[in-house]
Amino acid sequence: MRLAIFGEQRLGVLTGGGVADVTHALPWPHDPDPLTAGWWRRLCRDFTAVRPALARAAAQATVLPLSEVRLKAPVLGPSKIIAAASNYSGHVTEMHEVQRRTLGRVESWMMEFDVFLKAPSAVSGPADDIVLPPAELAAGHEIHHESELVAVIGVGGKDIPAASAPGHLLGYTIGLDITVRSAADRSRRKSYDTFSPLGPWLTTLDEAGDAGDLDIELECNGMARQKVNTSGLLVPLPDIVAYASSVMTLLPGDVIFTGAPPGVGPIAPGDRLRTRISRLGEMELRVR
């Protein structure tokens, strides 16, 4: 099943022709306030139980063409955004050159796999522009795209074994981890508003197939920049879940970026980014 959030935080199910509004089929009150967002976290946690009702509603609903709805990010109010660093060898290699250019040195600790946090308020949707901060542009700092497979937590947990990780995930979406290259802390450089576009919808685990065999592509102004298969992840998604949950409890609706493929590069106002992941869809975003 493919789940979308659209309009005033309506819940949609993607069908052949568009989006079926299934908000009325939720077995609890739908709260359109994006800040409280309890209905969404509850859906993430209890999706297995609710799914049959959503499927029935989708089959009976009037389908809205995609051109007539404004898709939002397919997450609401995550308690945290976890992101993996240094998780494709080609990206680790290219970061030596990027760091020499942007920092004047190589920070060896940043070449090791680990997880870090981005502000949940940095999330934006597939219809939103990426807004580059004027102060960073004025400082001459490069701002880069990172096009990543993103997982959304279903049933959360602590100390989740890698073998059990799929049972704790709701699904996947496409994410951009927009990043200022400077000497500042990662959590600040990656947390400006609109620096975590997600979309265009969430594809549940069963429909997405093997997360270790997805093609990720990103084009900037029609030119290919990033192209990788997730089989190249140094730390596969189940092991990221195990590692992250050994540190912090994963809550329903939390978001995990799995790491940047090689080919990161600067973006500028006026650019158009098109990113796609096989079986998960594609989205085009403007930079301003």
Contact positions vs Mn ion (CB under 5 A): 146, 177, 260
- DSSP tag of 37: -
Please identify, using beta-carbon distances, which residue of 46 and 116 lies nearer to Mn ion: 116
Which residue's beta carbon is nearest to the bound Mn ion? 177
Taking the complex as a whole, how short is the minimal distance between the CB of residue 191 and Mn ion, in angstroms?
Answer: 12
Please identify, using beta-carbon distances, which residue of 76 and 83 lies nearer to Mn ion: 83
Taking the complex as a whole, how short is the minimal distance between the CB of residue 260 and Mn ion, in angstroms?
Answer: 4
Please identify, using beta-carbon distances, which residue of 10 and 91 lies nearer to Mn ion: 91
Taking the complex as a whole, how short is the minimal distance between the CB of residue 177 and Mn ion, in angstroms?
Answer: 3
Q: Please provide residue 165's backbone torsions phi and psi, each rounded to the nearest 5 degrees.
A: -55, -45
Taking the complex as a whole, how short is the minimal distance between the CB of residue 83 and Mn ion, in angstroms?
Answer: 5
**Helix ranges, the chain (H):** 38-60, 89-102, 134-138, 186-189, 205-208, 237-247
Please identify, using beta-carbon distances, which residue of 146 and 219 lies nearer to Mn ion: 146
Whether residue 128 contacts residue 285, with contact meaning beta carbons closer than 8 Å, is answered with yes
Distance of CA 44 to the CA centre of its chain: 15
- The CA distances from residue 65 to 19, 54, 129, 150, 283, in Å, are 6, 18, 22, 25, 16
Please identify, using beta-carbon distances, which residue of 196 and 203 lies nearer to Mn ion: 196
Taking the complex as a whole, how short is the minimal distance between the CB of residue 228 and Mn ion, in angstroms?
Answer: 13
